[in-house]
Structure 1
Amino acid sequence: MAIAKARIAHARAKSQTQQKERHLQEQQLSLFSA
């Protein structure tokens, strides 16, 4: 159970960081296009 929970937490954190990176990239693109 502990391993499964750790894997879920890791996957969740990974997806959150990917979303943050994507958001930053979108901000940079909007700055360049402006």
Structure 2
Amino acid sequence: MNRCLRRIAKQCGITKRLSSHLARHTFATTIIF
């Protein structure tokens, strides 16, 4: 899962490290605010 996220991020030009953990928190923060 994390490997796929990193590959997609690289293709999109995102240079920060991504993980399923980070994505989950980002999603939760978006819903709250």
TM-score normalised by the chain length of structure 1: 0.44
Structure holding more helix per residue: 1
**Higher Cα Rg: structure 1 or 2?**
1
Say which structure, 1 or 2, has more relative contact order (CA 8 Å, 6+ apart).
Answer: 2
